[in-house]
Amino acid sequence: MAYTLQFGQVTPYLGYLAGGAWLALQLAAIGFVVGWAIGLVCAAILHYGPWLPRKIVRAYVVFFLNTPLLVQIFFIYFALPDWGIVLSSFQAVVIGMSLNAGAYLTEIQRAGFNSIRREEIEAAETLGFSRLQSIRHVIVPHICKVLFPPLSNQYIILTMTTSIAAIFGVEELTGRTYNINAQTFRALEIFSIAALYYVALTLVASAALYSIGRYFFRIKGKVF
Amino acid sequence: MAALLEEAPRFFGYYNMLFLGQAFAFTALLSLVGCGGGFVFGFGLAVLRSERIVRFAPLRWVATVYVELFRRIPFLVKLMVIFFAFQLAGFDVSGFVVAATTVALSASAFSAENVRAGLEAVHKNQWDAAEAMNMGGLTALRRVILPQAWRIIIPPSMTYSVGLVKSTSIVSQIGVFELTYAAKILNQKGFSAGICFGTILLLYFALCYPLNLMAARLESKLAPSRH
């Protein structure tokens, strides 16, 4: 049985799909911002905290880095109700994604903290910088330059990760693709179009992040 | 918590353990086949993208477009496209083959990037020197560049492979038997979600943590000396 591709049948749904892409971007943004905040706090604890909090943060990071996000969300969504915590699928996905992103962003930001050298701060002191000035002119520019590339990379990865939300019935880009597939049965067509949407989303994000990095932090590097 | 303890002896019975053990083996096999095949394919792609070896530019562009496309499509969407493509092309293959193909195609795109980064880390003069000694592109790659580049290629490739081990949980969506699917079956048989998913979380951890440790150790061990 030969199968002919018929893109004509799915074109009316392109706008509906774009709405899903918008939700995917929102999910990625929420996950990134919350994960970044978690990562900042955890990295600070790993760097300056006392023994016990350090061990706890370490356990959190190691556990979340070595288990699949999908199963983490399964656990949050299906197992937590047994202990009285009932979450909607959207909440479960957001919490799972944020915790997962938090673990990755802790690792990234810890590396950023580690990249500051004592000599830099001493040099700033020798030049007569006050503490605030040395943070403003030496430490922050340095940290931004070191952290920007891996952080933007993580954002791109997170945009693609949002597709997992479809498994829990959240109607983002992949979720809406499932819906269209159920209505039209043009599976190959609509899933390839969804794939192209993701390519477009991440390409635009990559290009924008590259320009930001180049303009604000003088990061030189290849785009592709 | 008490309910969990009460259920535990029944859950950790002989047949359930056999079932989970099989699922664990399938996850490991899927990752091994997918990542192994993907690395070989990705290595070929990286070689195709090298200006020193392939002089015909359009061929390099094709490889670049392939890598950029496949790096930017989520695993779940890739899985669905490949699943339906196999089905509609009329190939009657098992779910495991579909899953392994997806893992391999994902791995190929990421491996191609890692290998390319490794090849580019070797100084340009090395290529020139090899050319001056009348070596062709592939001979130079094999005898001059790779002996220096492999230390840079291996550690990140391993880290990415562990990432793909975690991604294999998504293939449960098309009904391929592996850890996540096994947990869903046990859950439907009436065991609580906490004990099912909690157990496989630990099993995934047992698979990924040693591999990640090994990657980190390799990275510090193989790090090229800075001269």
Position A102 in a domain: yes
Mapping DSSP to helix (H, G, I), strand (E, B) and coil, where does residue B75 land? helix
Confidence at residue A1, expressed as pLDDT on a 0 to 100 scale: 54
Residues of A in contact with B173 (CB under 8 A): 167
Query: Nearest CA to CA, how far is A202 from chain B (Å)?
Result: 6
Confidence at residue A2, expressed as pLDDT on a 0 to 100 scale: 67
Query: How many residue pairs from chains A and B have C-beta atoms closer than 8 A?
Result: 117
Of all residues in chain A, the one with the smallest CA distance to B170 is: A70
Q: Is B26 exposed, middle or buried (0-12, 13-18, 19+ CB in 10 A)?
A: buried
Contact A66 B167 (CB under 8 A): no
pLDDT band per the 50, 70, 90 thresholds, residue A163? very high
- In this structure, what CATH number is given to the domain that contains residue A171? 1.10.3720.10
pTM summary value: 0.89
**Does residue B82 belong to the interface with chain A, where contact is any CB pair within 8 Å?**
no
Query: Nearest CA to CA, how far is A160 from chain B (Å)?
Result: 5
Compute the half-sphere exposure of residue B41: CA atoms within 13 Å on the CB side of its CA.
20
Contact A3 B89 (CB under 8 A): yes
Position A221 in a domain: no
Residues of A in contact with B68 (CB under 8 A): 199, 203, 224
Of all residues in chain B, the one with the smallest CA distance to A173 is: B77
- The total number of structural domains in chain A stands at 1
Confidence at residue B224, expressed as pLDDT on a 0 to 100 scale: 64
Position A213 in a domain: no
Per-residue pLDDT of chain B (227 residues; tens, 9 = 90+): 677 777 778 788 888 888 899 999 999 999 999 999 999 999 999 998 887 888 888 888 999 999 989 999 999 999 999 999 988 888 888 889 999 999 999 999 999 999 998 888 888 888 888 888 888 888 888 888 888 888 888 888 998 899 999 999 999 999 899 999 999 999 998 888 888 899 999 999 999 999 999 988 888 888 766 55
Q: What is the mean pLDDT of residues A167-191?
A: 89
Confidence at residue B38, expressed as pLDDT on a 0 to 100 scale: 93
Give the CA angle between residues A151, A157, A158 to the nearest 5°.
85
Confidence at residue B9, expressed as pLDDT on a 0 to 100 scale: 80
Confidence at residue B225, expressed as pLDDT on a 0 to 100 scale: 60
Residue pLDDT, tens place only, A44-95 = 898 888 999 999 999 999 999 999 999 999 999 998 888 888 889 999 999 9
Position A80 in a domain: yes
Whether the CB-CB separation of B123 and B184 falls below 8 Å is answered with no
Identify the domain containing residue A137 by its residue range: 22-176
Position A151 in a domain: yes
Q: Take residue A208 and report the two structure tokens written for it.
A: 């924008």
Q: What is the mean pLDDT of residues A146-156?
A: 89
Position A17 in a domain: no
Contact B84 A174 (CB under 8 A): no
**Does residue B33 belong to the interface with chain A, where contact is any CB pair within 8 Å?**
no
Q: Which of B51, B77, B199 would you mutate first to test chain A, the one with the most A CBs within 10 A?
A: B77
User: Could you tell me where the DSSP H helices lie in B72-171?
Assistant: 75-88, 95-121, 124-132, 137-140, 146-167
Position A12 in a domain: no
Mapping DSSP to helix (H, G, I), strand (E, B) and coil, where does residue B55 land? coil
Contact A161 B89 (CB under 8 A): no
Confidence at residue B226, expressed as pLDDT on a 0 to 100 scale: 56
Interface of B with A in 158-177 (CB under 8 A): 162, 166-170, 172-173
Query: For residues B206 and A63, what is the distance between their CA atoms, to the nearest angstrom?
Result: 10
**Does residue A78 belong to the interface with chain B, where contact is any CB pair within 8 Å?**
yes
Go through the domains of chain B in sequence order and give each one's CATH number: 2-222 (1.10.3720.10)
Residues of A in contact with B78 (CB under 8 A): 195
Position A183 in a domain: no
Confidence at residue B211, expressed as pLDDT on a 0 to 100 scale: 92
